[in-house]
Structure 1
């Protein structure tokens, strides 16, 4: 039979999914590897989706989503960031994953380069390869608090560099850009005339500091012509399987996005769009309760790790812990994580799944039941005193 396209073989396999699928073959596993909220969807969100199905609201919509959904996102964005977005710049997508891929598809030609964080979420490197483009990793160093360093970024820019992906709050690291660092990244992009693709999926979950939105900051500086923002309802509203995301794009992208959306998805399904309106416009009490739950889990988990003498990075956002297991992993944390899964029945994400700089670390999702989280962490090997 004919061969697959050559670029397919260059797409890295997700190390998270490899571990997760291995875990599904075992019994009595504590799942701490995947970013899946353990809280239920709020009743009013499910009711809105059900009402749409009951009313047979199952037809096509505009490529960017129905106007009430786009307006609901714009209102929520203004309430959170103080920036009034034109709803016409808001495009409903099949989760933030499609939003990221869609944006990269409009930014990159084959052979173009995009700067991606290392450690960084897996699809940041997978999507460019699917587009025959080249992800160029920028390392995030522990001695720089795992934050982007502009002087190191400068050395990576070539004539083929077209964009940089920035993720704050970070998955997997839990880092959060402050205003000074965010401005430095924007000025770097302006100097080199780069697009900035800002992944802000965890914007609602920061700990003891505000979320600084690159999307909002750029809107104030350029009218939104430098930064393209990717957002999602998956984590905030525990809607991971419902797949409602958003792309906030420059006004000039309107025609191109209509064409791209039609070619890729046509439109997001209508019941999910109604669920999204209910989530964004309805009572936010469940979001605040989820945040308290995750913060309580973080505090309990870090207390246990401190007691056991296991190093970790204290997160400023998102709901993950970045834990140092170099004392046990012998230079191959992916293999160690599989062995740990089989021996202890605890699934954790190997840090190397997020890039070479993650070697020796693991990511643990704290959006789990308190008992599962603490039991799983209690099974980690502690350093020898």
Structure 2
């Protein structure tokens, strides 16, 4: 039998899926390893998709999506960021992941380099490698609040650097970029003529701080930002698979060409569900935000009581916690041991990069009592005595 391609064979396994699938096969396990919203989808969203099927809306749509949905995404993104956004710049995608893939397909050639965060979402690097590009990791360290620093980015620049990937609010960290930091990162990108891909999957979920999109600082004479958003997290539509890529002007024709070569278009019924989510009642978003905040506060209290250090989450719905006192330098193996011995699944920090060694990501999506019970089974940090 012939071999598969070298670059596909070299892709590492997704450690989040690895532990989560093991947990799903473990009766009674408390699953805190995956970011799956736990609320029922709003009824008007479901009915819109079913109505589209009843109307036999089962044909191809334009590559970029149906016009009303593109307009709704443009209006929402513009309102959130005090921007005028033309619907012609909006490209409907099969979730944020496809938006990321489309943007990288458009911007990266063989051997080109893309700056990605470490710790950061694993598909940033996986997607780049599938395109024969080279992911270059910029460090996010605990001593700097897991925030990027321009001086670190400067040291990583090379003649093939083409793209900077930003993610705020961050998965896995829950960190949020300030306006000053966002402006500084955009100044860096402009100074070095880099494209920017901004992953904003969690823009609706911040706690006492604003979400600041890099697109706010994207000047008309130097438009360089591709913003990937999704309805998966905001409205709990992970299986509907609808997001959007907001692009600089003039990108639709090349994106049409790329989209046609992959899936042609997003399913029509999914697009009508998405339209209902964006234009209908927004109760789901408010309810989810309040629930995630309560879970963040409850989880923070448990970790603090057990002496476990963690990053104070300002956004998304995850907590990033330091279990290095228990993991013996191999957090990937340790999370499987935790599942076997305590019946709790958390995501290993190394799923998100080497700097995640010793750390775990805890999802705050589910039932509060189950979250608190799961965290109470984590090994507390022994008291630290000063000499």
Give the TM-score taking structure 2 as reference length: 0.97
Give CA-to-partner distance per residue, 1:318-359, whole Å, 9 cap, x none: 000001100000100000001001111111000000000000
User: How far 1:79 sits from its partner (Å)?
Assistant: 2.0
Aligned residue runs from structure 1 range 10-159, under 5 A:
10-159=10-159
- Asked if 1:320 corresponds to 2:318, the answer is yes
Give CA-to-partner distance per residue, 1:186-207, whole Å, 9 cap, x none: 1111111111100001000001
Moved more, 163-172 or 284-293: 284-293
SS in 2 for 1:163: strand
Does the 8 Å CA contact 2:307/2:382 hold for their aligned counterparts? no
User: Which residue in 1 is equivalent to 2:215?
Assistant: 215
Moved more, 301-310 or 86-95: 301-310
Distance (Å, rounded) in 1 between the aligned partners of 2:27 and 2:215: 43
Return 5+ residue gaps in structure 2 as ranges: none
Moved more, 265-274 or 11-20: 11-20
Distance (Å, rounded) in 2 between the aligned partners of 1:223 and 1:308: 52
Does the 8 Å CA contact 1:224/1:249 hold for their aligned counterparts? no
Moved more, 74-83 or 258-267: 74-83
User: How far 1:2 sits from its partner (Å)?
Assistant: 2.0
User: How far 1:86 sits from its partner (Å)?
Assistant: 0.5
Distance (Å, rounded) in 2 between the aligned partners of 1:24 and 1:307: 29
Moved more, 331-340 or 12-21: 12-21
Distance (Å, rounded) in 1 between the aligned partners of 2:7 and 2:110: 10
Does the 8 Å CA contact 1:65/1:268 hold for their aligned counterparts? yes
Does the 8 Å CA contact 1:76/1:281 hold for their aligned counterparts? no
User: Which residue in 2 is equivalent to 1:279?
Assistant: 277
User: Which residue in 2 is equivalent to 1:264?
Assistant: 262
Distance (Å, rounded) in 2 between the aligned partners of 1:143 and 1:174: 16
- Asked if 1:308 corresponds to 2:306, the answer is yes
User: Which residue in 2 is equivalent to 1:176?
Assistant: 176
What is the aligned residue count?
Answer: 383
Does the 8 Å CA contact 1:215/1:224 hold for their aligned counterparts? no
Distance (Å, rounded) in 2 between the aligned partners of 1:130 and 1:341: 32
User: How far 1:224 sits from its partner (Å)?
Assistant: 7.2
User: How far 1:223 sits from its partner (Å)?
Assistant: 6.2
Match of 2:363 among 362, 365, 370: 365
SS in 2 for 1:138: strand
User: How far 1:215 sits from its partner (Å)?
Assistant: 2.2
User: How far 1:225 sits from its partner (Å)?
Assistant: 1.8
SS in 2 for 1:326: coil
SS in 2 for 1:247: strand
Moved more, 5-14 or 169-178: 5-14
- Asked if 1:381 corresponds to 2:383, the answer is no
SS in 1 for 2:261: helix
Distance (Å, rounded) in 2 between the aligned partners of 1:90 and 1:223: 19
Distance (Å, rounded) in 2 between the aligned partners of 1:216 and 1:46: 33
Does the 8 Å CA contact 2:64/2:252 hold for their aligned counterparts? no
User: Which residue in 2 is equivalent to 1:248?
Assistant: 246
Return 5+ residue gaps in structure 1 as ranges: none
Give the TM-score taking structure 1 as reference length: 0.98
Give CA-to-partner distance per residue, 1:268-300, whole Å, 9 cap, x none: 001100011111111112210110011011111
Distance (Å, rounded) in 2 between the aligned partners of 1:217 and 1:190: 10
Distance (Å, rounded) in 2 between the aligned partners of 1:14 and 1:122: 7
